[in-house]
Amino acid sequence: MSEATFTFRVDDALKSQFSQAAKSRDRSGAQLLREFMREFVQQQQEAAEHDAWFRHQVQVGMDSANSGNLVPAAEVEAKFAARRAATRRRLDPPE
C-alpha cells in the first residue's frame, strides 16, 4: 500500500489538546487520525449500503402495492387488535 501525506490547518490549542489526549492513550496523533479516517470511511460505506437496501425495500413495497397486493386497513386493525388482546390476556393475572 502506498502512503500519502495529508496536511491541514488546525488551531494550536486543539493540536496541543489532541496530542496530549493521544499521548495519554500511548498513541500518536497520526495513529488516531488514521483510525478515525478508517472508521469514518466504514461508517459512510455502511450508510450508503443501508440506504441502497432501504430504497430497494421501498421499491419492492411500492411495486407490490401497484400490482394490487394490498390489505384493507380494517383487516389490519382487526388483526392487531386481536394480537393486543391476546397479549393483554397473557400479561394480566387471573382473578
Residue 52 belongs to a domain: yes
The CA–CA distances, whole Å, from 12 to 16, 36, 77, 85 equal 6, 20, 61, 63
- Fill in the DSSP letter of residue 93: P
Mean pLDDT value across residues 21-34: 95
Q: Which domain holds residue 45?
A: 12-91
Residue 4 belongs to a domain: no
Residue that wins the pLDDT comparison between 51 and 2: 51
**How far is 70 from 72, CA to CA, in rounded Å?**
7
* Angle, in degrees to the nearest 10, between helices 29-66 and 12-24: 90
CA atoms within 13 A on the CB side of 12: 0
Looking at the predicted structure, is the pLDDT value of residue 93 above 90? no
Q: Tell me the pLDDT of the chain averaged across its residues.
A: 94
Domain count within the chain: 1
Residue 3 belongs to a domain: no
Residue 57 belongs to a domain: yes
- Which tens digits make up the pLDDT trace of 58-86? 999 999 999 999 999 999 999 999 999 99
**CB-based contact 52:42 (threshold 8 Å):** no
